[in-house]
Structure 1
Amino acid sequence: MDDRDREVCLHDRARRIATLSPGATELTYAAGAGDQVVAVVSYSDYPPEAQQVASVGSHTRIDLETLVGLAPDLVIGWVTGNPAEQLETLEALGMPVFYIEPRDVAGVASAIERLARLAGTEVAGQAVADNFRDTMATLTSRYRDRDPVTTFYQVWDEPLMSINDQHLIGQVIEICGGQNVFGGLSRRVPRIDDEAVLAANPEAIVAGGMGEENRHWLTHWEQYPNLKAVAEDNLFFVPPSLIQRPTPRLMEGTQILCEKLDIARQKRGRS
């Protein structure tokens, strides 16, 4: 069953897999099926060997002619990220499409297991899934019940956007003992403004920026010296690929975020 609750059946294990999002690429490699990937989309940069695989456009506009020419026997689609009409065209051509979009920790592990089953790499995939579950459970046990740290996670800058508690990043904040100041909003990725952040006055601000070393989103908040996160120097950077992609690297991103929020806690006792 895929993440659209559709049953996808193959006569044999998939030998030629097309992954139509960077997250799908990473999850397929994690499932032990990297050698079977014949097509990816732009920004599929992890693991590094994925960058050597043929690209068939971006997740929002797929080069169907090139993709069809690569003759995949399984296409891994993104529920809300790929153009529906293009994936429907692939299905009409007889290509099985398996949609994924993990929205919680359990969903990441499950996606790995299901991809491994389709690819015939169950043993490798199960080991990765089990390690992911165990590591996330350990982090939850270690950090979740510590003193809460009110936290604003900035997922985008223009327009300014955050996440609610149902978003996977919101769940990571909870694992780390954080309290998401916009967690109660109805939209999973709500648009907000500076005034809303100032009113919430979070103890910590966390951002990823548009690149792995790009921290400029955080400097924006330094113009508000009375903001608690600024006054306490709790402006934290987490590389976006470690926390914004629903993949096993979420373990590393969660560990980093938990350590950052612990820094904020430790500052409370200082004079």
Structure 2
Amino acid sequence: MGLYRFAAVAALCVCAVAFAAPAKASAPMRIVSLAPSVTETLFALGAGPEVVGVSQYCDYPPQALDLPRVGSFLTPNLEAIIALRPTLIVGLELSSDVRQIRALNSMGYPVLLVSDDSLDQIETSIEKVGARIDRDAEARRLVARIQSQIAAVQNRLANVKPLRALMLVGHQPIVAVGPGTYLDELMRIARADNIVQTVGEQWPHLSMEFIIAMRPQVILDGAMGSDPAASVDFWERYPTIPAVRDRRVYGYAEDPMLHAGPRVGQSLEIIARKIHPEAWPRGVDN
């Protein structure tokens, strides 16, 4: 009987240890991002340590520069992605029909596709990514912060008069920000009437004759970058344009202006300050 009692006690001890032992922590995710806006969102949600690969265009935050490159959302490098053993691949819905994305799906790799063409889409994308990586609360806080930044700019501009404006992303050819883009939406919130609103293209190619005829009062020129002296010679040839005459041609840096994602509120303020500097008078608490 002593032997049986010993066996029973031993079994109970084993069960007690088994129940007392902490559950094994799940392995961290291995996330591959195929777009700059996705990479920024992942880092903003605190998932930076889980990002193992990014697109060739991802340059923010600085930590992303040290990560392996896996092509872009339209030309993803299938071999490079698979080599990183991802547990989640996040890209843009524009690439849903890309052959490599279909191949990844068929091989069983989890793929999440989001959109970033408008403020609503940017906010929805943040929430979708947050839900997928178990960071719902962080996503809600991030969206709330963006909405607060937008509301602050709107309050600043409540009494200003809209100005005719043009936003360019390049000169060769001349490419403008058109309707259906988040930048056009930011221009409207910044109380600007986009002169290409009726063109109907997201990134229309413009002639100088069109720009002269539309007489923009403010020009935001991405080809000038952040150097206020750049491209001056280009615009001085067209003094009849009100923006040129009144010296209201401004350059802007691609980062963050051309980056859809968590810093969209910051981009809005940059645009608004250039179009309506009077709403941020010097000497007043900004």
Q: Using structure 2 for the length normalisation, give the TM-score.
A: 0.81
CA distance in 2, matches of 1:246, 1:235: 23
Would you say 1:156 and 2:170 are equivalent positions?
yes
Match of 1:97 in 2: 111
Match of 2:130 in 1: 116
Match of 1:36 in 2: 50
- Tell me the secondary structure at the aligned position of residue 113 of structure 2: strand
Q: Which moved more, 1:99-108 or 1:173-182?
A: 99-108
Structure 2 residue aligned with 1:45, among 51, 59, 64? 59
CA distance in 2, matches of 1:214, 1:63: 38
The structure with the largest alpha-carbon Rg is: 2
CA distance in 1, matches of 2:164, 2:153: 19
Match of 2:284 in 1: none
Match of 1:255 in 2: 269
Note the residue ranges of structure 2 that are not aligned, 5 or more in a row.
Answer: 1-25, 281-286
* One-letter amino acid matched to 1:245: H
Structure 1 residue aligned with 2:249, among 232, 235, 254? 235
Tell me if the contact between 1:147 and 1:265 (Cα under 8 Å) persists in the aligned partners: no
* One-letter amino acid matched to 1:71: R
Q: Using structure 1 for the length normalisation, give the TM-score.
A: 0.85
Runs of 4+ in 1 over 3 A off after TM superposition: 210-219, 263-266
Change (3 A) 1:144 1:193: farther
- Tell me the secondary structure at the aligned position of residue 56 of structure 2: coil
CA distance in 2, matches of 1:13, 1:21: 24
The number of aligned residues is: 255
Cα deviation code 1:132-173 (max 9, x no counterpart): 111112212322551111101112222211122332111111
Match of 2:37 in 1: 23
CA distance in 2, matches of 1:225, 1:250: 33
Cα deviation code 1:197-252 (max 9, x no counterpart): 01111001002238665974565222112211111000112222222221122212
CA distance in 1, matches of 2:86, 2:118: 28
Would you say 1:75 and 2:89 are equivalent positions?
yes
Report sequence identity in percent: 24
Question: Shift in Å at residue 110 of structure 1?
Answer: 1.7
Note the residue ranges of structure 1 that are not aligned, 5 or more in a row.
Answer: 1-11, 267-271
Change (3 A) 1:254 1:217: farther
Match of 2:143 in 1: 129
Tell me if the contact between 2:149 and 2:266 (Cα under 8 Å) persists in the aligned partners: no
CA distance in 2, matches of 1:188, 1:227: 23
Tell me if the contact between 2:53 and 2:69 (Cα under 8 Å) persists in the aligned partners: yes
Match of 1:6 in 2: none
CA distance in 2, matches of 1:13, 1:102: 30
Match of 2:220 in 1: 206
Change (3 A) 1:212 1:260: closer
Change (3 A) 1:236 1:62: same
